[in-house]
Structure 1
């Protein structure tokens, strides 16, 4: 079933409240997905590249990591532990080497980018949000997901959002029927996935199209031609976010827009505590139609 939320802020004055508003939206969707939860936050650009990692043994895995990785790379590195996750900042030129060194230490890569941080774990959305102190996080936009696992195990890596390129991520409600075939096609292009989850294939498809020169709108339109099944996709990029539903659009979705923000949710009740929602333009996104907003 799953629940999706997304919030794109038009006014910088609301940036400090992004995490708080997204957390309320996410928790409201708990009964659509109590297995795991995740959120991608787009904050200030870093001086380098942010790499979000996860470990089941963070006390051990993150102890001394800053000094060790700085030595491996011969570069300045910062490490900010956040419960089972940590956000590292490394020089952009050292990104590939840093990822290889982190994976060699058994750390799981959640996402990379100048602005994006991804936090996701098994458990109720309220508990996941509290563990990462999501309410305290600010930024320009973000997307989140509550999962009811139907096609793969309840694990951290199976939780959404999924990211397969810098500052790009995806959350999904639905099921893709040709994800294994698409996974093979992407692999032949050198685009690899880490999990069996069909959503990661959707994320990889979109990021590969953008890497080939497509716009976000064109990449989302491509999902309607190349991905089979039923789906609602909400994707985040460094500059904004986009929404597309399959031509049948059997999964629930609603959007709201004011002068201050654009919001997406699987159900209207997720909007209840948003400021100014009573004056918002509210609509159900049309099937096979791409919506996107960029800064």
Structure 2
């Protein structure tokens, strides 16, 4: 049992409040997942690409990291640190060498993209949110997850969201029964998951389908056909977020939409305090159906 939240803003005047509203939604889902929490937040795109990294010893690992990376790339690098995470902004054509440099220094890459930043750690959602000051973050949309570990250890890397492609990430409530066989297949295709978590298998599956030429809707529809088990997936992209449930849809999910936003929650109480919720359209996503909302790139 885990908790998922998502918030897509239609109006720009709500952007400064995105982190605050998502934090309240995340904390409300604590009893669905008290062991770890994470959030992906999509902000304004700037020059270059963002790489979010994590370290268990951030004081030592982040000291002078931007300077060292800049010297290795021969280009300026900006760094923003938040507790155990740091977001480094590098030139767009330097993403791969930058990632190789960071991994060689023992840093864990949480995700990368033009707009996406990912923050996740072990601990109660309220504590994780406070460590990263999530309330202060603005943006256009975001997704979050509170985890109750069932198939793998309680670790930072086991927390959601999982990102296996630029500006894309996935959160999951449920359990996949064929994740081991799918893991072997994906590894053969060059999309090997790095953790034991079945959610990362699903994220790698979607990336593999995209690499094969499928569009995002087709990739999400493929999860219904190829992934066995019970699941609700919420996926974040640079321009929006999508939702899909398995054909039985036994995992709870509810959505709300107003002129200002679209919200997702594992339970209604996740967004019960959002502004204008009393006039929102409320519904339960249909089984085996892909929903997607996006804004202009």
Question: Which TM-score band applies after superposition, normalised by the shorter structure?
Answer: over 0.9
- Corresponding residue number in structure 2 for 1:250: 250
Tell me how far apart the structure 1 counterparts of residues 143 and 154 of structure 2 sit (CA, whole Å).
Answer: 20
- What does the per-residue CA deviation read over 1:114-145, in whole Å, with 9 as the maximum and x for residues that have no partner? 00000000000000000000000000100000
**Does 1:129 find its partner at 2:129?**
yes
1:192 shift after superposition: 2.3
Q: Secondary structure at the match of 1:210?
A: helix
Q: Scaled by the length of structure 2, what TM-score is found?
A: 0.98
Q: Partners of 1:216 and 1:15 in 2: how far apart?
A: 25
Instruction: State the Cα distance separating 1:193 from its structure 2 match.
Output: 1.7
Pair 100,175 (structure 1): closer, same or farther in 2 beyond 3 Å: same
Query: Which contiguous aligned blocks of 4+ residues in structure 1 show a shift greater than 4 angstroms?
Result: none
- CA distance in 2 between counterparts of 1:288 and 1:89 reads 38
After superposition, the C-alpha distances for 1:211-252 in whole angstroms (9 at most, x for unaligned) are 332222111111000101110000000011000000111110
Q: Write out aligned runs for 1:97-246 (5 A).
A: 97-246=97-246
Q: Secondary structure at the match of 1:218?
A: helix
What is the rounded CA distance, in whole Å, between the counterparts of 1:100 and 1:251 in structure 2? Answer: 38
Q: Tell me whether 1:79 sits opposite 2:98 in the alignment.
A: no
Whole-Å separation in 1 of the counterparts to 2:164 and 2:46? 19
Structure 2 CA distance for aligned equivalents of residues 222 and 159 of structure 1: 24
3-state SS, counterpart of residue 98 of structure 2: helix
Is the partner of 1:76 in helix, strand or coil?
A: coil
Stretches of structure 2 that go unaligned for 5 or more consecutive residues are none
Tell me what 2:7 maps to: 7
Q: Distance in 1 between matches of 2:293 and 2:77?
A: 33
Partner SS state of residue 232, structure 2: strand
Structure 1: how far apart are the matches of 2:47 and 2:193? 27
Helix, strand or coil: the match of 1:51?
Answer: strand
Tell me, what secondary structure is at the counterpart of 2:68? helix
Answering whether residue 276 of structure 2 is matched by residue 276 of structure 1, we say yes
CA contact (8 A) 1:216 1:242 kept: no
* CA shift for structure 1 position 208: 2.0
> SS in structure 2 opposite 1:149?
coil
Quote the Cα distance in structure 2 between the aligned partners of 1:211 and 1:6: 26
Structure 1 gaps of 5+ residues are none
Listed one character per residue, the Cα deviations across residues 237-285 of structure 1 (whole Å, up to 9, x for unaligned) are: 0011000000111110000000110000000001111000000000011
Moved more, 178-187 or 239-248: 178-187
Q: TM-score normalised to the size of structure 1?
A: 0.99
Q: Which residue in the other structure is 2:93 paired with?
A: 93
Contact 1:34-1:147 at 8 Å conserved across structures: yes
RMSD (Å) for aligned C-alpha atoms:
0.8
Q: For residues 213 and 50 of structure 2, what CA distance do their matches in structure 1 show?
A: 24
Matches of 2:45 and 2:137, distance apart in 1: 14
Alignment of 1:34-53 (within 5 A): 34-53=34-53
Question: What is the distance in 1 between the residues matched to 2:192 and 2:19?
Answer: 31
Residue 46 of structure 1 contacts residue 89 of structure 1 at CA under 8 Å; is this kept in 2? Answer: no
Counterpart-to-counterpart distance in 1, 2:47 and 2:221: 33
Task: Indicate the residue corresponding to 2:57 in structure 1.
Answer: 57
Give the distance between the partners of 1:33 and 1:169, measured in 2 at CA. 19
3-state secondary structure, aligned to 1:4:
strand
Whole-angstrom distance in 2 between the partners of 1:91 and 1:149 = 37
